[in-house]
Structure 1
């Protein structure tokens, strides 16, 4: 197992101490990518490892780096609904209007997956309701299609 595999294994298992030790010995690990193109920050965010996300950001993890699909850490948490983690990423400089390779924004994902609190958080931080994805749809279109009335109310 190489250092990168060990590092991603420590992130997935939530071993903050091992993550810190590996970063001290090799600070460039913060910029590593796994076989699927995930950065440590995206990986930790996806698995809701809040303490490790904070450690990575303290070690200068690039906040808006993308995976192979163009997703950032904030895009990843927006459809899962981890409000605390999303708020931390935004406070740390994550761009709320970033788009992935499909043109999907955090707001569109939150709307597609009925994440009402996430929609509210993103709007509070100036998410642009009018941004279109590659299909020409905005967040409101997805909320209407899926019948998510509360989200429609936020977005109209």
Structure 2
């Protein structure tokens, strides 16, 4: 093969990898695919006001993707620009269970479920180059479904 041909193959390969990375980043950051229903919003609001927290039945109705949605909302409100899969993002997820200020917020019960699943799946995959994103089949499962799967392992 000539140098020109090798260079062309390299450019095409590099462009393909860049396209895949950008596409995955766009899809994974689209937390708006998992909005809360008005009933779920009311459940969270009531739990914040009553200070009683969420019942297991309430928690079980949320999806893992909705936990991601709530996390992205939190980031936006607090001007945190952590990209999914970045070191800062992973550190934040790992710190949730240790932070009293977050654990007292009912929203973080749902976010904590997302964080737990994300970190667990990340350990299984150990991506070398690409930022890790949960696949949509996991994001679409309810917290109850995920707990059932984990209990059977």
How would you bin the TM-score normalised by the shorter chain? under 0.3
- CA radius of gyration, larger in: 2
Higher relative contact order (CA 8 A, sep 6+): 2
Q: Given the two structures, how large is their TM-score scaled by the length of structure 2?
A: 0.27
Q: Given the two structures, how large is their TM-score scaled by the length of structure 1?
A: 0.27
